[in-house]
Amino acid sequence: MDGRGDGAIGIRYPWETPPETGEAIEVAEGILWLRLPLPMTLDHVNIYALDEGDHWTIVDCGVYTKKSVAIWEGLLAGPLKGKPVQRILLTHHHPDHVGAAGWFMERGCTLWASRTAWALSRMLILDVEAEATSQAKQFWRRAGMNEAIYTKRCSERPFNFADISHRLPVGYQRLQQGDTISAAGRTWDVHVGNGHAPEHLTFWCKEEALVLSGDQILPSISPNIGVMPSEPNADPLAEWLESCHRFADLAREDQLILGGHKLPFRGAPTRMRQLIDNHEGALRRLLKHLDTPKTAVECFPPLFKRSIDEGTYGLAMVEAVAHLNHLLTRGLVSRELGADEAWYWKAKA
């Protein structure tokens, strides 16, 4: 069924609770669902272990900290039955998914990833910054960042990938759109998404209704679609919407979607429609809000259905910029640089 069609059953959760730390739930024959804690607002990441007989393939691997290493050692000795991890299938380059990859690779594991995910992971883990760059400061100004938050950020050491990631060795196996791989006695088609992260890999099983979706398809939350200081005029939302429409054509009601966060679920056609409608609705509200010139941070109210505190401020800001950039790409808004160095955005008449 097309994800935009009628008659969708809705989203169903086969498991109401996730595995406890150090434990596993078998979600299909030879496929274990693990969960590792994260030191951030989204406090967990899902890992899937695929049984290869005398070893394991894992999909993503969590962050690299003393705590996560201890958890992995317990998992390897316990639910993973003492068999080694010999391959990581990396969905995308964010540290909650790639952070421990180097630790595994030092133990003989291979890394399979998209070229962009591997290159960004290696670059960002090596790029340790002691203070905010001039490009970051300008980006914050352009977005209209709150002055107190701006001053605080300028005085603090910024977050670095290396804070929660092991150094990543050279060498990986490239995966790209149209590839097929074998894992857990099954054949998987590789489909590449974009928007949340460039060249984000997803894996669609040929023999069974199983999808390893990373952060590209999640229930109950939409992954952050943000613009970074490194590419301030990017339009990741266009890439996200294109990916969602393409995946909607692959979505079926019976597929078990094994995502990087929250719970595994069925009802992919409904979820793909929701993921598209969520942003299209936000764009409509935002355009109405821009009847008078606004900065990006003044666009939080129409975009987000909750209050934005300091902990979520940065993610909200980069997502607001992404929506504004997309409206600019569509030719629906204009922007003008103010005396305060911020962009002021306004809907075109």
* pLDDT at residue 331 greater than cutoff 60: yes
| Tens-place pLDDT, residues 110-149 | 999 999 999 999 999 999 999 999 999 999 999 999 999 9
| Structural domain includes residue 9 | no
From the CB of residue 247, how many other CB atoms can be counted at a distance below 10 Å? 23
Name 263's Cβ contacts closer than 8 Å, sequence gap at least 6: 13, 15, 16, 18, 219
Q: Structural domain tally of the chain?
A: 1
Here the CATH number for the domain that contains residue 58 is 3.60.15.10
DSSP-derived pairing of the beta strands 333-337 and 343-347: antiparallel
Share of the chain above pLDDT 90, in %: 95
Give me 20's structure tokens: 């406890």
2 pLDDT band, cuts 50/70/90, is: very low
| Structural domain includes residue 39 | yes
Give the mean model confidence (pLDDT) for residues 294-306.
95
* pLDDT at residue 346 greater than cutoff 90: yes
Give the mean model confidence (pLDDT) for residues 34-59.
97
Distance CA 240, CA 280 (A): 11
At 317, give phi and psi (nearest 5°): -65, -50
| Structural domain includes residue 34 | yes
| Structural domain includes residue 286 | no
- Please, where are the H alpha helices in the chain? 66-77, 95-98, 101-105, 115-126, 134-143, 147-155, 236-248, 268-289, 300-303, 310-329
| Structural domain includes residue 43 | yes
Distance CA 10, CA 185 (A): 30
Please measure the distance between the N-terminal and C-terminal CA atoms of the chain and give it in whole angstroms: 39
Considering only residues 86 and 305, tell me which one the structure prediction assigns the higher pLDDT: 86
pLDDT of residue 8: 57
pLDDT of residue 4: 34
Name 281's Cβ contacts closer than 8 Å, sequence gap at least 6: none
Give the range of the structural domain holding residue 196, as residue numbers without chain letter.
25-267
Distance CA 124, CA 159 (A): 11
Give the mean model confidence (pLDDT) for residues 315-323.
98
| Structural domain includes residue 107 | yes
Q: What is the pTM of this model?
A: 0.95
| Structural domain includes residue 328 | no
| Structural domain includes residue 256 | yes
Give the mean model confidence (pLDDT) for residues 252-267.
98
| pLDDT mean across residues, the chain | 96
